[in-house]
Amino acid sequence: MSGANPRVKEAAAKAARDHEEILSAVHRLEAALASPAPGREPAWKHRAGASLVGVLDSLNVHRESAENEGGVIAEAEALLGRPPALAAARSQHVLLLKDAGELLADLEKRRDDPQLTCEAVRERAWDLALALRNHQALGLEMTEDWRQRLDVTLDAIAQARIQVASDAKDVGKRRAAFLRRWKTALGSAIEPALTEAGEPWRQRGLEWSLTVSESPRSATLSVTIEPLGACTLQFAGDSDRMRVAVSRAFGRIGVPREQVGDHDISEITADRVRSYVEDFMRRLIS
């Protein structure tokens, strides 16, 4: 888990220690089960029950530390979602605790009951010990799988962050380049042509205005002609697309603004702007 963060490493190490504790408790249980029982059934059941308490305690500690926040299962789910192996681990915790708890309850309540035979206890306890060993094997298998998948996931996250940073840098460069070109276009082509176009209307005593803005990036010539109202020619810059959209409106209520052009910023020359202005003026006069 070379690329894993400290929390994931710590959770995996804690799970490994928990499994060692469970395995030690299983060894003690197996030793108790293997001891002679004939003629000393109550004492044998007491030893089996005492060793079973150790199994339950270690299993409870493992379940809480693995499933709660910061545990190996919780951390793996946060990064990998809920693959079947994680759901199986949670289900096994429930079943193992249930089987161990029921066996311990029988040993405590029915220690002197001859119908609870040592053979029956031994069979149930051996099954429990086998299930615990299988659970430990599943844990080891999942841990190795998580190592590989976590490394892949974290590598992908790191690459995505690098890409996002690179994209943001590219966007910043693109916007800065567009702003430089927009200022040049405003100063050399758009604003002079629109100012010149408004002069005849001023001489006629008509209301006109020129609005120039760097943010939002637009330049709008507006001429008010009754009964039409305000007629406008607008150049609007889009730094994400590195383009300039040209639109116009002739003041009629309910008539949508007409899109008449869409150009790369490099195409906004004085000749092109004058062409749009002349066409706009012809429409006004007509």
Place of tokens 């710590």: 10
**Residue 86 · residue 93 · CB < 8 Å:** no
Q: 36 in a domain, yes or no?
A: yes
Which pair of tokens denotes residue 167? 């994209």
Q: 21 in a domain, yes or no?
A: yes
Residues 202 and 256 in one domain: yes
Residues 160 and 193 in one domain: no
Place of tokens 């927009």: 182
Domain boundary among 122, 140, 167: 167
Residues 102 and 34 in one domain: yes
Q: 172 in a domain, yes or no?
A: no
Residues 135 and 209 in one domain: no
Residues 52 and 135 in one domain: yes
Check residue 188 and report its DSSP letter. I
| pLDDT tens for the 286 residues of the chain, in order | 444 456 666 777 777 788 788 888 888 888 888 888 777 888 888 888 899 999 899 888 888 877 777 677 777 777 666 767 777 878 888 888 898 888 888 888 887 788 888 888 889 989 888 888 887 777 666 666 666 666 666 666 667 777 776 666 777 788 888 888 888 888 899 999 998 988 888 788 778 888 888 777 888 888 887 777 788 999 999 988 889 999 999 877 667 889 999 999 999 999 999 999 999 988 887 6
Q: 54 in a domain, yes or no?
A: yes
Measuring CA to CA, which residue among 229, 226, 230, 221 is closest to residue 200?
221
Number of structural domains (the chain) is 2
**Residue 264 · residue 258 · CB < 8 Å:** no
**Residue 53 · residue 107 · CB < 8 Å:** no
CA dist 26 and 47 (Å) reads: 13
Q: 173 in a domain, yes or no?
A: no
CA dist 220 and 223 (Å) reads: 10
Residue-number span of the structural domain to which 212 is assigned = 183-285
Q: 10 in a domain, yes or no?
A: yes
Q: 178 in a domain, yes or no?
A: no
Which pair of tokens denotes residue 61? 């500690």
CATH assignment at residue 107? 1.20.120
79-87 LR contacts (CB < 8 Å, sep 24+): 79/8, 79/150, 79/153, 79/154, 80/146, 80/149, 80/150, 80/153, 85/138, 85/141, 85/142, 85/145, 86/142
Residues 40 and 162 in one domain: yes
Q: 177 in a domain, yes or no?
A: no
Residues 222 and 101 in one domain: no
